[in-house]
Amino acid sequence: MGKDVIIACDFDSAEKTFAFLDKFTGKKPFVKIGMELYYAEGPSIVREIKRRGHKIFLDLKLHDIPNTVKKSMAVLSRLDVDMTNLHAAGTVRMMEGALEGLTRPDGTRPLLIAVTQLTSTDQESMERDLLIKEPIADVVMHYAHNAKLAGLDGVVCSPLEAGKVHERCGEKFLTVTPGVRFADGDIGDQKRVMTPAEAKKIGSDYIVVGRPITAAEDPVAAYERCVREFVD
Ligand code: C5P
* Backbone phi and psi for residue 207, each to the nearest 5 degrees, phi listed first: -105, 140
The pLDDT tens digits of the residues spanning 43-73 come to 999 999 999 999 999 999 999 999 999 999 9
What pLDDT shows up at residue 174?
98
Q: For residues 136 and 134, what is the distance between their CA atoms, to the nearest angstrom? A: 6
Mean pLDDT for 9-18 is 98
How many Cα atoms are found within 13 Å in the side-chain-facing hemisphere of 115? 18
- Name the closest-CA residue to atom 20, ligand 1: 178
Quick check: 121 pLDDT over 90?
no
**Is the CB of residue 38 less than 8 Å from the CB of residue 31?**
no
Q: Is 34 in the pocket of ligand 1 (CB under 6 A)?
A: yes
Closest CA to 34 of 59, 7, 3, 6: 59
HEC sequence for 181-227: CCCCCCCCCCCCCECHHHHHHHCCCEEEECHHHHCCCCHHHHHHHHH
Q: What is the DSSP string of 118-148?
A: -TT--HHHHHHHH---S-HHHHHHHHHHHHH
Flag whether the pTM goes above 0.85.
Answer: yes
DSSP 172: T
Q: Is 190 in the pocket of ligand 1 (CB under 6 A)?
A: yes
Q: Is 215 in the pocket of ligand 1 (CB under 6 A)?
A: no
Quick check: 14 pLDDT over 90?
yes
What pLDDT shows up at residue 89?
97
In ligand 1, which atom is closest to the CA atom of 209? 3
> How many Å lie between the centroid of ligand 1 and the Cα of residue 110?
20
The pLDDT tens digits of the residues spanning 185-203 come to 888 777 778 999 999 999 9
Return mean pLDDT, the chain.
95
Q: Residues 4-230: name the CATH superfamily.
A: Aldolase class I (3.20.20.70)
Quick check: 207 pLDDT over 80?
yes
Quick check: 159 pLDDT over 90?
no
> How many Å lie between the centroid of ligand 1 and the Cα of residue 208?
7
133 is catalytic: no
Q: Of residues 16, 61, 164, 201, which has the active-site annotation?
A: 61
